[in-house]
Structure 1
Amino acid sequence: MIDRTADFLSALKDVKKRDGIPGSLLLATRSKKPKTSFGVKCKDLVESITQLRDFLLKNRKAYIGGVGQHNELTDLERDKVDVDSQAIIKSCSNALLDLRTSEVKDPGSPNQLDIHKKYTIDLIQKYLRSVCRIYTEQKAIRVKQVVDKRLMSRLQSNGTRKTTPVEQEEQTKFTPKAPVHLYNPDDELSSDEEAIYEQENVQLLSDMNSMMDEVNAIENQVVEIVKLQEMFTEQVLQQSEQIDVISETVVESSENVKDGNEELREAIKNNAGFRVWILFFLVMCSFSLLFLEWYS
């Protein structure tokens, strides 16, 4: 689509010059529309979500950490970031729920204003979900790093073992005090020493295998935690929609009960009037029979 704003402005100037309309008159007739409470609340929500997104992206490297990262956050600072982020997400979710309950009375209404409010709240909700996804990804990376550090510390503690007397003897043999020969029959390992080394190798191999199994299991758990956090966020946001549907159903049920009571009251009135007419008819018939009998 071609932008012809400049042509429109030039044509407007020509019309003003031709008809002698002052430009201040046209500007004075233009008035800004008053801001509604719905618009102000939506704007505040979007600003809060945007501030959270900018904060997470700005401190992403410091929060995650890495090689050569000098301004890395401490664990206390990371915990504070988690608490603040969760509080903002919760407050925004509650504000969206209150806004949907108070502003959108009937989601199925053909009114354009209600449709506009519903779609606006849906867009803000989608924006909040994207920011929640950014936070959950950073949280999952942090959890994985903590798990990796613990595994490395355990691996180092298992890898450091005490020096046996046989190893001390071998170290003293190979000290650079005097030149040694490349081969010496006395330096060969005995069967007991070979058995000890073989047992140590088997133990180290089993420890490494168990460590790898634990690493794989923890990685799978981290992935599951991320999925559960995303599902939890989606479920929390979907509960607002379900609460709206329940509130609408309650309102419709109360209106139906009220209509039913009015119809029942009207039916009772009609039934009472019908009984009065029947009683009047019977009385008139009785008087007619008495009159005929008297007349005869």
Structure 2
Amino acid sequence: MSKVRDRTEDFRDAVRVAALSHGYTESQLAALMASFIMHKAPRQSAFMKAALKTLESIKELERFIVKHRKDYVDLHRTTEQERDNIEHEVAVFVKVCKDQIDILKNRIHDEETEGSGRTWLQFRDDASHADMVAHKHGVVLILSEKLHSVTAQFDQLRSVRFQDAMNRVMPRRKVHRLPQPKSEASKSDLPKLGEQELSSGTIRVQEQLLDDETRALQVELTNLLDAVQETETKMVEMSALNHLMSTHVLQQAQQIEHLYEQAVEATNNVVLGNKELSQAIKRNSSSRTFLLLFFVVLTFSILFLDWYS
């Protein structure tokens, strides 16, 4: 019984000789064989490149927040000016990411407008175009949710900062409202020459004026402290409302996505309905022609039978 011989190496040698005879070099042949094994990655569209760039910006924002988290929250690490700078940088990051997402949304809207203009009154299957548009809407929704989650983290840090500011203000308010006792050292600090020249009545008048000015200054500082505390409270409330509004916006985005899916399904149903109507019109016209032909043939048959009889 003869043994089976493996001719794979012979086949490879024959292919190599044939390729070299057709003008292929060793490097070209190696590149061609490598392309058969490792396929090239498909080219990304401009939309996907922009979406990946937006995602990278959001990730960069998240890394920035994580890096400066302790600097923003800890009061002993940075100053108020530095924390304001961090907040400004985050606001700039968020604005850039939001603008990029808006650009993607506008691009999808333009593609929908162009697609609807091309396919109007044309009975053809545009399911692939609808799926692509739905996929792009999903990409934009994912980017919006990612940006919302990152901004929610910074909103929590901002709430912690405002709460710390309120905690620092409250003890000061109690201290400022405590009555300050008169110090006898201030009386002893008066120049001896003034005590000898001024009478006791003049000294009492000056002390009364000084006390009045002190009380007026204390009242002014207390009112200013109340205004600052009220402003900080409103800022905390605004931050909470901003977070709540962003949550509602995200919910509305999900509802809009659901409505869009329903609209795509309704569009497909309308297209199918138009096809059914066109087929019904064709069937109606063909049946009308058949009935007309039947009546004509029947009439001629009756006339022929009448003539024949």
TM-score normalised to structure 2 length: 0.51
Task: Determine if contact 1:140/1:225 at 8 Å carries over to the other structure.
Answer: no
Closer/same/farther in 2, CA of residues 47 and 293 from structure 1, 3 Å limit: closer
- Following TM superposition, where does structure 1 have runs of at least 4 consecutive aligned residues deviating by more than 6 angstroms? 19-24, 98-104, 117-123, 224-227
Structure-2 residue corresponding to 1:46: 55
Closer/same/farther in 2, CA of residues 271 and 26 from structure 1, 3 Å limit: closer
Indicate yes or no: 2:84 matched with 1:84. no
Indicate yes or no: 2:131 matched with 1:106. yes
List alignment gaps of at least 5 residues for structure 2. Answer: 1-11, 17-25, 112-127, 189-225
Indicate yes or no: 2:174 matched with 1:155. yes
Q: Which amino acid aligns with 2:249?
A: V
Deviations 1:63-109 (A, max 9, x none): 33413x355535753552353243145346546767998899539x9
Task: Determine if contact 2:155/2:239 at 8 Å carries over to the other structure.
Answer: yes
- C-alpha distance in structure 2 between counterparts of 1:72 and 1:27, whole Å: 62
Structure-2 residue corresponding to 1:138: 157
Closer/same/farther in 2, CA of residues 130 and 277 from structure 1, 3 Å limit: closer
- What is the number of residues matched between the two proteins? 223
Structure-1 residue corresponding to 2:9: none
Q: Which amino acid aligns with 1:106?
A: D
Q: Which amino acid aligns with 2:94?
A: Q
Task: Determine if contact 2:141/2:253 at 8 Å carries over to the other structure.
Answer: no
Structure-1 residue corresponding to 2:223: none
- C-alpha distance in structure 1 between counterparts of 2:249 and 2:285, whole Å: 54
Task: Determine if contact 1:129/1:233 at 8 Å carries over to the other structure.
Answer: yes
Structure-2 residue corresponding to 1:203: none
Q: How does 1:1-296 map to 2 (within 5 A)?
A: 25=30, 29=34, 30=38, 32-37=40-45, 40-67=49-76, 69-73=77-81, 77=85, 80-81=88-89, 83-91=91-99, 94=102, 105-106=130-131, 127-160=146-179, 229-296=242-309
- C-alpha distance in structure 1 between counterparts of 2:178 and 2:129, whole Å: 64
- C-alpha distance in structure 2 between counterparts of 1:121 and 1:249, whole Å: 18
Deviations 1:34-87 (A, max 9, x none): 5413653343233212221222233334433413x3555357535523532431
Q: Deviation of residue 260 (structure 1)?
A: 1.6
Quick one: percent identity of the two aligned structures? Answer: 26
Q: Deviation of residue 160 (structure 1)?
A: 4.6
- CA root-mean-square deviation: 4.9
TM-score normalised to structure 1 length: 0.53
Task: Determine if contact 1:62/1:73 at 8 Å carries over to the other structure.
Answer: no
